[in-house]
Amino acid sequence: MIIKAQKGTKDVLPEEYIQWKNILNKADEIFKYANFKQISTPIFEATELFKRGVGDSTDIVNKEMYTFEKSERSITLRPENTAGVVRAYLEHNMQREIQPVKLWYFGPMFRYERPQAGRQRQFHQLGVEMFGIEDASADADCIYTAVKFFEAVGLKNLSVELNSLGCNSCRNKFREKIKNLIEPVLSELCFDCQKRFSTNPLRILDCKNETCKQIFDEKQILEKISHIELCEECSTHYSQLKSHLDMLNVKYIENPFLVRGLDYYTRTVFEIKSENLGSQNAVCGGGRYDNLVETLGGPKTPAVGWAVGMERLYSLTEKDNVKNIDYFVISDNISEALKLTNEIRNRNKTAEMDYSKRKFTKQIEKASKIADFAVIIGESEIAKHTITIKNLKNFEQTEIDRDIFISSIN
């Protein structure tokens, strides 16, 4: 019996990985221009990092983390990477560097949830984090960098949804407003909403349960909630952000019910969406988290960032055709074939050989499926120190000196 991959995981096959590399190369290029430097953090961290950072009231901490005990310590496979990047920022004293510190990352994340299109239990995220700047220009720069990146990988039909959750004071008032409106229908809502009522009522606005949505519509709850009332400072920050985005020609839609799923967000939250993913249409999500560094033991440090799922991003991008290798070496002398194959590779060209003594016709048949040129080195070519090169598209062939052939490859 063949052992298969675990439910909620999938193999990234060679053809798919070629596209992933193309996406990562674009990320490296775009982020380099914006002065983001790449960082890599461990895939597991102390469980406390996520409980304190992501928040005890979130679905991630309550339902979705892969946590295990090792040497009397609680360890968790990372469900997201912002908390880990903040931990690295503090542990390596990056707060002492010239601000902003701008970092980007890519790697696997782990959440135990029902697998569905574009969402797995092991998935990969690419994201950016920017530390040390409180001004709304940092938010705008992060959003603009995201838009430029998605444009670079060929995404279209995108929209930016934008909201501000305000500071702690703004949110506390908003929570009470939500609780007052929700309390009369609380018993009719789903279990998650009932639990969130006391722990994080803002998350009720993001409920995907159809029964809850219907109740909200019938009672006009969302209309009555309207939007968060921002204090003067948060209102100014939000207005400045929109002004910066207008100046950068970034089109956005204000969504007063956008709250995001993590407790650490403050002020700006945003999502970049695509019409091609149905109900699960968020490609990228992020926002500002000015309290997270302090929550995790550091000094008060403003920060903003975003992340995108690679699996979703891959599903939205056009797929490149798998390119043939440049040369396929054909010979009944394995030693000579191996030597010539690697001489070609040393000239920065792709090359392969048959690794067998099959008939030349069989080797040419194989070469025609995967290569642009066949390089034939039989007994007569070895004796004359030549090779015969065969164009596998038009089948023209030429015999030339072996050294001249190698030196002509560029």
**Structure tokens given for 48:** 């406390």
Assigned domain for 190 exists: no
DSSP class of residue 62 equals I
Give percent helix, percent strand, percent coil of the chain, each to the nearest 5: 45, 25, 35
Question: Is a pLDDT exceeding 60 seen at residue 143?
Answer: yes
3-state class of 269 per DSSP?
Answer: strand
Q: What is the C-alpha radius of gyration for the chain, rounded to an integer number of angstroms?
A: 28
CATH classification of the domain holding 375: 3.40.50.800
pLDDT score at 139:
97
Provide the β-strand partners of residue 391.
373
The count of structural domains within the chain is: 2
Predicted model pTM: 0.85
pLDDT per position as a tens digit, 62-71: 678 889 998 8
How far from chain centre, in Å, is Cα 76? 20
pLDDT per position as a tens digit, 238-266: 999 999 999 999 999 998 878 776 678 89
pLDDT score at 86:
97
Residues 303 and 358 both lie in one domain: no
Residues 162 and 282 both lie in one domain: yes
Is residue 264 packed enough to be buried (19+ CB in 10 Å), middle (13-18) or exposed (0-12)?
A: buried
**Structure tokens given for 160:** 């930016």
Contact 162, 267 (CB under 8 A): no
Domain hosting residue 294, numbered range:
14-166+230-316
Assigned domain for 196 exists: no
Residues 329 and 312 both lie in one domain: no
Report the distance separating Cα 158 and Cα 24, nearest Å. 20
Residues 132 and 100 both lie in one domain: yes
pLDDT score at 278:
56
Residue 252 one-letter amino acid: Y
Q: What would you measure as the largest C-alpha separation in the chain, in angstroms?
A: 94
Domain boundary among 316, 348, 374: 316
Residues 98 and 53 both lie in one domain: yes
Residues 39 and 65 both lie in one domain: yes
Residues 246 and 377 both lie in one domain: no
